[in-house]
Amino acid sequence: MVTVTLAQRKSAVLTPSGLACLAGIPTINLTAGCPHGCLYCYSQGYSCYPGRGRVVLYANALEKLKSELARKRKRPQAVYFSPASDLFQPVPEVLEMAYGILEYLLAQGIGVAFLTKGRIPEGHMELLRPKAAIVRAQVGLVTLDPDVAARFEPGAPRPADRLAQIHSLVAGGIRTQVRLDPILPGVTDDRGTLSDLLAALAQAGVDCVAASTLFLRPALANALKAALPEEECRKLLGHFKPADRLAIHAEHSTVTALPLGLRREILTRVADVARRHGLHVNVCACKNPDLPSQCCGIAGDWPADGPQAAQHPLFGTLKQPGH
């Protein structure tokens, strides 16, 4: 059961992101809150988070978008949805708003990139397919195990449905990556689980995966403690040491990360299994500034990305993979 509240957004709807992979690509959140209710969702720590089962929909988002774009000297090449919510939530009002915004942007020739765990309705797919050249999709999928998914992502579609969604996006000619993030230590990081998932993705026509491991903040640790069986929670959180603070570029903040050695071990395993299935893995650089990592391509690749990304301060400091 989701409670939807309408609100008027006062601040700009097009928001720049601190993520290096989103340099030059503004972002939009249509809502605060998301009914997928993932236990590991970082937005639970944000001041605008309305609480579990609650969604605040910005009713004036389309109107504001139009006036903000009209005032811009240079229009963005693409817009990214959504840093702290999901464009394809199972909420009719949100889906209707999403349709209107996608329709407007695509008609203007502005590309759309989205990361979703949601089910994209057929009507929205009909809008996206003919514009596939300016659409980039990332689907969040961390396991094929329906029980694990039901515990950690209780409101999101089942993994099998997301796999079918990936098939459909790829078949529609839309460039589609998968986001294997967060990898849950001791839950989804074993070779067998990774192999099942990555084999299914390769079969679905995916060739690139972005990966990172879970990190903790107090709100997130509390959500895990409140919802998981005690034994599983202890096992999961037992991998973290409070002293392992990491300054991540994603939000210019510090988090409790997995110890460097364990993160390296897990991400190396992911890359190894992926290689066996013919997939390429990008390790999220913003969340792993202490590892050789890359742009995770959260918004897909756009022709102007290269120079923009290269100018971003983060990429100036990165080691190249393998160095």
- Per CB under 6 A, residues contacting ligand SF4 are 34, 36-38, 41, 43, 85-86, 117, 156
CA distance 323 to 300: 25
State in angstroms the smallest separation of the CB of 91 from ligand SF4. Answer: 11
In the chain, the amino acid numbered 252 is: H
State in angstroms the smallest separation of the CB of 289 from ligand SF4. Answer: 21
State in angstroms the smallest separation of the CB of 155 from ligand SF4. Answer: 7
Assign 129 to helix, strand or coil.
Answer: helix
State in angstroms the smallest separation of the CB of 146 from ligand SF4. Answer: 16
Please check whether residue 201 is in contact with residue 166, taking contact to mean a CB–CB distance below 8 angstroms.
Answer: yes
What are 243's two structure tokens? 């002293």
Report DSSP letters for 285-317, one per residue: TTT-TTSS-B---TT---TTHHHHHHHSHHHHH
Residue 37 or 300: which CB sits closer to ligand SF4?
A: 37
Q: Is the peptide bond before 182 cis (omega within 30 degrees of 0)?
A: yes
Q: Which residues, in sequence order, are bridge partners of residue 4?
A: 55
In the chain, the amino acid numbered 288 is: N
Residue 43 or 282: which CB sits closer to ligand SF4?
A: 43
Residue 39 or 309: which CB sits closer to ligand SF4?
A: 39
Residue 179 or 263: which CB sits closer to ligand SF4?
A: 179
CA distance 247 to 290: 9
Residue 44 or 193: which CB sits closer to ligand SF4?
A: 44
Residue 85 or 288: which CB sits closer to ligand SF4?
A: 85
Please check whether residue 267 is in contact with residue 291, taking contact to mean a CB–CB distance below 8 angstroms.
Answer: yes
CA distance 268 to 136: 26
Residue 41 or 273: which CB sits closer to ligand SF4?
A: 41
Alpha carbon of 316 to those of 73, 193, 244, 247, 248: distances in Å?
A: 28, 35, 25, 17, 15
State in angstroms the smallest separation of the CB of 85 from ligand SF4. Answer: 5
Residue 77 or 143: which CB sits closer to ligand SF4?
A: 143
State in angstroms the smallest separation of the CB of 18 from ligand SF4. Answer: 17
Nearest CA-CA partner of 291 in 246, 242, 253, 241:
246
Count of Cβ atoms closer than 10 Å to residue 244 Cβ? 17
State in angstroms the smallest separation of the CB of 39 from ligand SF4. Answer: 9
CA distance 238 to 260: 15
State in angstroms the smallest separation of the CB of 299 from ligand SF4. Answer: 15
State in angstroms the smallest separation of the CB of 123 from ligand SF4. Answer: 21
Nearest CA-CA partner of 112 in 169, 167, 57:
169
Residue 131 or 136: which CB sits closer to ligand SF4?
A: 136
Length of the chain measured in residues: 323
